[in-house]
């Protein structure tokens, strides 16, 4: 009987620690123009992300993201114009609520975190 309270406490602690969102989740606004024409990146809590490229192909990119480290995520994305095409982007977040998006090791855009919910409940 004495073992049950510590196990319950340990279980609750593990559940609460697993609920912390990754630093990449959020709404990101670009700080300057970029060659892809991206102005905003939305990284939801549930593992989905999206952005629009206006200068390349005028497509909405739908992505699934996964954390590769505490400060980095990999976005596997498909454009709305070609569901067979898949591209990988890397989003790296720093301590100042800024992020860099890279594609094929090239810097695509620099973002600042916005105070918005990326997964609003309508």
**Mean pLDDT for each consecutive 10-residue tract of the chain (122 residues)?**
54 50 88 95 94 92 95 96 96 93 96 85 56
- Does a structural domain hold residue 3? no
- Does a structural domain hold residue 1? no
- Does a structural domain hold residue 7? no
**Distance between alpha carbon 2 and the CA centroid of its chain, in Å?**
43
Q: Domain span at residue 49?
A: 22-114
Report d(CA 58, CA 119) in Å as an integer. Answer: 24
- Does a structural domain hold residue 32? yes
- Does a structural domain hold residue 29? yes
Q: Which helix (H) or strand (E) holds 4?
A: helix 4-17
Beta bridge partners of 44: none
Q: Say what the pLDDT of residue 16 is.
A: 47
- Does a structural domain hold residue 100? yes
Q: Which helix (H) or strand (E) holds 64?
A: strand 59-69
- Does a structural domain hold residue 75? yes
Indicate the number of domains in the chain.
1
The CATH number given to whatever domain includes residue 65 is: 2.40.128.20
């Amino acid at each position: 009987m004495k073992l049950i309270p510590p196990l319950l406490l340990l279980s609750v602690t593990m559940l609460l620690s697993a609920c912390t969102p990754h630093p990449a989740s959020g709404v990101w606004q670009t700080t300057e123009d970029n060659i892809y024409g991206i102005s905003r990146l939305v990284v939801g809590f549930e593992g989905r992300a999206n952005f629009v490229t206006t200068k390349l192909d005028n497509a909405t990119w739908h992505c699934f993201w996964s954390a590769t480290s505490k400060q980095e995520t990999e976005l596997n994305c498909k454009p709305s114009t070609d569901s067979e095409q898949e591209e990988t982007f890397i989003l790296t977040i720093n301590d100042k609520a800024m992020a860099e998006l890279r594609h094929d090791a090239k810097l695509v855009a620099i973002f600042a975190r916005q105070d918005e919910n990326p997964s609003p409940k309508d």
